[in-house]
Structure 1
Amino acid sequence: MGYTDAPEGWWREFVAARPRTGKLAVVRADGSPHVTPVWVDVDGSSIVFTTHVESVKGKAILRDGRISLCLDDEEPPYAFVTLSGKAEVDDDPEQVTYWAGRLGARYMGADRANEYAARNGVPGEVVVRLRNPKVVAKVDVAD
């Protein structure tokens, strides 16, 4: 068994297929790495998540903007996608509420969308978007 490159654009289908927790990597102010889980969704050629500006990841993104995000299957057949690039931050309250609800529905069920929109669509929370990321996507293949 080994990995092979996934087809072009495959990452969108992989991320959208089911909720997988993304592992987000950022660089702290002292240069050390920081990895944290995030809920993500696909919007066209972008990947989207939310965070609070006072969190470690929020501060790092606002300061530097470079991020890397990995999503994977932890059971056979193994596959993963790593997305990297410069994050864009949007603090528009309507966008924050929309994405907080959409992510809540995706990970916790449609019946909880309004709950998550209210809980996470608050001042200080922002939408983070990675447009047209650099992609490394691999799928497991049998030898």
Structure 2
Amino acid sequence: MDYRMTKDERESFLADLHVGVIGISSPKRAPILLPIWYTYEPGGEINFITSKDSKKTQLLATAGRFTLCVQNEDPPYQYVSVEGRITSTEDAGHEKDLRPIAYRYLGKKEGEEYVEETKGVEELLIRMMPEKWSTADYGKEIA
């Protein structure tokens, strides 16, 4: 049985709300895996924000690419994994970049609290265009 998602299915799944896990190559050890909040619109780029002085930022600058995996942890199990090059890195704005992601993951009230608590933190907006996709929808087995 073929469990792969169609292009529309995989893009819709990736655009849904999931905590993503990124994998970044590391020169002296196994790849580093870290959870992230992200945004994605079908056909577009993956966007996420991270602190300018984080280890994640250093590894991303060196690697120039990363893998992102998102999954449904309840049956029927599904996942989408994408990899690609970083297309841009720029200073993140609290209003235009952080607030929408915080609201997406925390809701308006708690998202607003998060935005207020992180004022003054220098952050980067990182973008990646998916180049390679790996997917599975095990619900296709029971459909």
TM-score by length of 1: 0.83
**Which deviations, in whole Å up to 9, do the C-alpha atoms of 1:7-47 show, x marking residues without a partner?**
11322211223x21111100123253100100111145111
Structure 2: runs of 5+ lacking an equivalent: none
Give aligned-pair identity as a percent. 21
**How many residues of Structure 1 are paired with residues of Structure 2 in the alignment?**
140
Inter-CA distance 121–25: structure 2 relative to 1 (3 Å threshold): farther
Aligned to 2:32: 34
Structure 1: runs of 5+ lacking an equivalent: none
Asked if 1 retains the 8 angstrom alpha-carbon contact of 2:4 and 2:137, the reply is: yes
* Residues 21-60 of structure 1 mapped to structure 2, 5 A cutoff: 21-44=19-42, 45-60=44-59
**Which deviations, in whole Å up to 9, do the C-alpha atoms of 1:33-88 show, x marking residues without a partner?**
10010011114511111111322211111122110010001111111000101113
Aligned to 2:131: 133
| Higher alpha-carbon deviation: 125-134 or 69-78 | 125-134
The CA RMSD measured in Å over matched residues stands at 2.2
Q: Distance in 1 between matches of 2:48 and 2:54?
A: 14
TM-score by length of 2: 0.83
Give the aligned residue type for 2:108.
Answer: A
Q: Distance in 2 between matches of 1:107 and 1:14?
A: 16
| Higher alpha-carbon deviation: 33-42 or 127-136 | 127-136
Q: Distance in 2 between matches of 1:69 and 1:109?
A: 23
Q: Distance in 1 between matches of 2:32 and 2:67?
A: 11
